[in-house]
Amino acid sequence: MRTALVVANWKMHKTVAESLAFAAALGPALADVRGVEAAVAPPFTALAALQNALAGTSVALAAQNAHFEKNGAFTGEISVAMLAELGCRYVILGHSERRALFAESDAFIARKVRAVQAAGLRPILCVGESDAEREAGRTFDVLRSQLEGSLAGADAARASELVVAYEPVWAIGTGKTATSAQAQEVHAAIRAILRELAGGLADAIRIQYGGSVKPENAAELMSQPDVDGALVGGASLKAADFVAIVKGATR
Ligand code: PGA
């Protein structure tokens, strides 16, 4: 049985003060919620404040990105050790915005996956097809090549710590969501590919759905057998909405 994982991906939203206000509402609201894991991925600037504010709560901390080198002349980048020091348990990698806007390739992402695993943190690897790719019937080919490329050289022994987020690009920030049947079909296919790569450990890998997840559709999406939580953008910015989505993921 996989415990569902629901992650708030704030993207480039919230100052430190706004992050602290969110944490003050979140901790108590989730105090009695069992059977689901929640995490918040704020901008890097709010990680330290949230590490303190969420200490003693069940809410984990995630980063939105990391560089694969340990240190060096990489202006503007953040290493995995820096994130570990701030108590991050998860690192989101290969988000479609990073792939599209910052030209991150599968090979580049694979180096990050390896660095995150080597430091004992858990990658949340994002994959997903565009509208045009789905229309052209290429969804499963695209996912296979993203998974194989981004997981090249990954530590198979740590496979059960890996999280994959299926985020169809056409559903991100658009208000369009995959139906629960569409999501389940793709999640099952992703798990089959993961089984080729990681054998029986694939059954322990959590596969999140992401793309316009809201309180109204969360429970239905996460009732599917291979949908093990959600990566939530827009609806994670309001504590009450995020709490409702987390509660909808309880198993
Ligand atoms: P959304 O974003 O929930 O606003 O669609 C999801 C994501 O990009 O992780």
What tens digit of pLDDT does each residue of 118-131 get?
999 999 999 999 99
**How do residues 52-87 score in pLDDT, each as one tens digit?**
999 999 999 999 999 999 999 999 999 999 999 999
Query: Would you name the residues annotated as active-site residues?
Result: 95, 167
**Is the pLDDT assigned to residue 1 strictly greater than 90?**
no
Q: Is 128 in the pocket of ligand 1 (CB under 6 A)?
A: no
- Is 172 touching ligand 1 by the criterion CB < 6 Å? yes
CA 71 – ligand 1 centroid, Å:
30
Residue 231 CB–ligand 1 contact under 6 Å: yes
CA dist 9 → 23, 95, 132, 154, 215 (Å): 14, 10, 25, 24, 15
165 CA closest ligand 1 atom index: 9
Report DSSP letters for 192-243, one per residue.
Answer: HHHHHHHGGGGGG-EEEEESS--HHHHHHHHTSTT--EEEESGGGSSHHHHH
Average pLDDT over residues 23-36: 94
CA dist., res. 29 & res. 127, Å (int): 31
- To the question of pTM greater than 0.85 for the whole model, the response is yes
Q: How far is the CA of 11 from the centre of ligand 1 (A)?
A: 9
Query: What are the Cα distances from residue 130, in Å, to 9, 124, 125?
Result: 20, 19, 16
Q: For the chain, give the percent of residues with pLDDT over 70.
A: 100
Distance CA 160, CA 152 (A): 16
Residue 25: exposure state from Cβ atoms within 10 A (0-12, 13-18, ≥19) = middle
Ligand 1 contacts CB of residue 212 (under 6 A): yes
Rounded distance between C-alpha atoms, residue 78 and residue 90, angstroms: 14
Contact in structure between 98 and 128 (CB atoms under 8 Å): no
Quickly tell me which residue has 């079909």 as its tokens. 185
Q: Is 172 exposed, middle or buried (0-12, 13-18, 19+ CB in 10 A)?
A: buried
Q: For all residues of the chain together, what is the average pLDDT?
A: 97
How many angstroms separate the alpha carbon of residue 96 from the centre of ligand 1?
A: 10
Ligand 1 pocket check: which of 9, 214, 238 to mutate, most ligand atoms within 8 Å of Cβ? Answer: 9
Ligand 1 binding pocket includes 245 (Cβ within 6 Å): no
DSSP 79: B
6 within ligand 1 shell (Cβ under 6 A): no
The ligand 1 atom nearest the CA atom of 212:
5
User: What distance in Å separates the CA atoms of residue 149 and residue 143, rounded to the nearest whole number?
Assistant: 10
